[in-house]
Amino acid sequence: MENIFPQWSDIPAEYRIDKAVHQNEYLINGQLLKWDGPFQDVVSPVYLNEQGTLTPKFLGHYPLLTQAQSMAALDAAVAAFDHGRGLWPTMSVEDRIYHLELFTLKMMETREEVVRLLMWEIGKTLGDAQKEFDRTVDYIRDTIQSLKELDRTSSRFSIEQGIMAQIRRAPFGVALCMGPYNYPLNETFTTLIPALIMGNVIIFKPPKFGVLLHSPLLKAFKESFPPGVINTVYGDGESVIRPLMESGKIDVLAFIGSSRVADILKHQHPKPHRMRSVLGLEAKNAAIILKDADIEQVTTEVVLGALSYNGQRCTALKIIFVHESIAEPFLTKFSEKVSALKAGMPWEKDVKITPLPEAGKIEYLNTLIEDAQKYGAKIINANGGNCNRTVFFPAVLFPVNEKMRVYHEEQFGPVVPVVAFSSINEPVEYIINSNYGQQVSIFGNDADEISELIDPLVNQVCRVNINSQCQRGPDSFPFTGRKDSAEGTLSVSDALRVFSIRTLVAAKSSPTNNALVKEIIRENKSNFLSTDFIF
């Protein structure tokens, strides 16, 4: 831990950031505008060791825009939608797909740069950063495929009670998309892409960390979409987001972050009922380890579930309930596996524990630990809680109880609270009383016991995992949550629905109407009223 931070010469050339990224442009109305106002400096959570002195690596800066640029982005988006009359919302699905495919090709050229910035800006390991990029490209491709299928089904007419109708999905208008820092590319794009392809126009603001990695994509956006269809804002939320919300012109809010901020944003809209919200919020997913669980399997899966990307996943296992009869062997094996995790820099081979990007995070984790210790918990794994600057070695806390903050709060970091239970009611009541309702993992081998848990728990959370960690993927599966954990459902196909509304064109069947509709279709006069089939 003491010598964890590298010297510049220790870093393989291909992973170094040789030149700081001075991002002085922002995209509004199809133009990359130069910014000469104040900038936000970006420093890495990775420190460099310069002759014994540790300094965080300076990565570059991005524009700190003001209300004026934010309103310019809004005006551009509103004009591009033009109350549904704009080029983009009236364009055929096939043509919109063409633009998105063009973007994807250009995006793929930025892979190396984006992956490098993911490592330096948010401390994601090389493997996970590559996975995040590739998963996002796959998501775009799957979205296109899913839209084609949706469009094929919608290209036919329905005739009911003498009325013929063509039922399709239409966009809402201006979508404001904001992703989280732990998946700054992927989770921003899992809302931005479906919103865009359904014909909405976009304003997007990158998360608080992971901003610079979007800069190579600005040119690709500019070159791939008509002016005003996609616009970016950067800076302090109070200056750039509040005016957008207060304008009342945001039709869809796609936000992944905390429920506290989501509530503030929604209340800033003068007519919140007009705005659709697609929200991915906090979670405190529990693992329930039953008495017959396979210790080897469960410990491997819980390490993965609780500590991948240092536990900074909304889906991470954030509290572990283990049956008291196997608490001891579980804790011994689990602590062993946690302590064997390699801490280091994101590009190092087999590294699992990396620098944390949030300022004050280590202090927060230490506060949770001190609070738990006050009520009788101990750190039970070797090196647990050791830290150096931004690196925090995972701490397994046991025995944890309801008096402790870590029992209730979403730690979003490498602290793993473990509770021993004697009655299954204890973890079940925990989930019932929790403010969150995303997922749960049950570990065990008794079909009767597991099915008795499945039936009530599916009504408390939105995914019950058996002998498997909690996770979002595969992206074709629905991803959502109850209570404070989410609003709206995301999956490749669900997202297309969530960012659009069913609209139909209907006519009473009569010789005149039949002839009229036939003419519109035969002569390809409308992009909506059309039986064209996308291959």
Q: In what order do the strands lie in the sheet with 39-50?
A: 21-22, 53-63, 39-50
For 45, 238, 292, 389, 391, the CA distances from 55, given in Å and listed in that order, are 10, 30, 49, 10, 14
Name the DSSP class of 100.
H
Minimum distance, C-beta of residue 34 to ligand G3H, in the bound complex (Å): 34
Q: Cα(455)–Cα(21) distance, rounded to whole angstroms?
A: 52
Whole-number minimum distance, CB 492 to ligand G3H, in Å?
Answer: 14
Please give the sequence-ordered ranges of beta strands (E in DSSP) within 133-271, or none if there are none. 158-160, 163-170, 174-178, 201-205, 230-232, 252-256
Q: DSSP states of 307-366 as a string?
A: HGGGG-STTSEEEEEEEGGGHHHHHHHHHHHHHTSPB--TTSTT--B----STTHHHHHH
Considering the rule CB under 6 A, would residue 314 count as an interface residue with ligand G3H?
A: yes
Options 26-34, 258-266, 384-392, 465-473: segment touching ligand G3H (CB under 6 A): 465-473
Under the criterion CB under 6 A, does residue 335 sit at the interface with ligand G3H? no
Q: How far apart are CA 220 and CA 405, in angstroms?
A: 45
Cα–Cα distance between 263 and 325 in angstroms, integer? Answer: 43
The smaller minimum CB distance to ligand G3H, of residues 376 and 473, is found at 473
Tell me whether residue 38 or residue 473 sits nearer to ligand G3H (CB atom): 473
- The span from the CA of 519 to the CA of 513, in Å, is 10
Q: What angle do CA 85, 89, 91 make, to 5 degrees?
A: 100
318 binds ligand G3H (CB under 6 A): no
The residue among 311 and 427 lying less far from ligand G3H, judged by its C-beta, is 311
| 321 scored as a contact of ligand G3H (CB under 6 A) | no
Residue 315 touching ligand G3H (CB under 6 A): yes
Is 352 a binding residue for ligand G3H by CB under 6 A? The answer is: no
Comparing CB distances to ligand G3H, the nearer of 166 and 312 is: 312
Shortest Å, Cβ 236 to ligand G3H: 23
Among 313, 318, 323, 352, binds ligand G3H (CB under 6 A): 313
490 pairs with which residues across the strands?
A: 479
> What single letter denotes the amino acid at residue 44?
S
Segment 82 to 101, residues that bind ligand G3H, using CB under 6 A: none
Nearer to ligand G3H, 33 or 137 (CB): 137
Q: Which stretch binds ligand G3H (CB under 6 A): 264-272, 308-316, 384-392, 429-437?
A: 308-316
Choice from 231, 232, 381, 471 touching ligand G3H (CB under 6 A): 471
- Residue 65 makes CB contacts below 8 A (sequence gap 6+) with 26, 35, 37, 233, 234, 235, 239, 240
Residue whose CB is less far from ligand G3H, 151 or 410: 410
Minimal CA–CA distance to 191: which of 491, 501, 507, 407?
491
Nearer to ligand G3H, 123 or 399 (CB): 123
Stretch that binds ligand G3H, among 269-277, 311-319, 359-367, 403-411 (CB under 6 A): 311-319
Q: Which of residues 163-192 bind ligand G3H (CB under 6 A)?
A: 182-183, 187
Q: Does 29 bind ligand G3H (CB under 6 A)?
A: no
Please tell me what DSSP assigns to residue 380.
-
Cβ neighbours for 4, distance < 8 A, ≥ 6 positions apart? 343, 344, 345, 388, 391
Residue 465 touching ligand G3H (CB under 6 A): no
Q: Does 255 bind ligand G3H (CB under 6 A)?
A: no
* Binding residues for ligand G3H (CB under 6 A): 182-183, 187, 313-315, 471-473
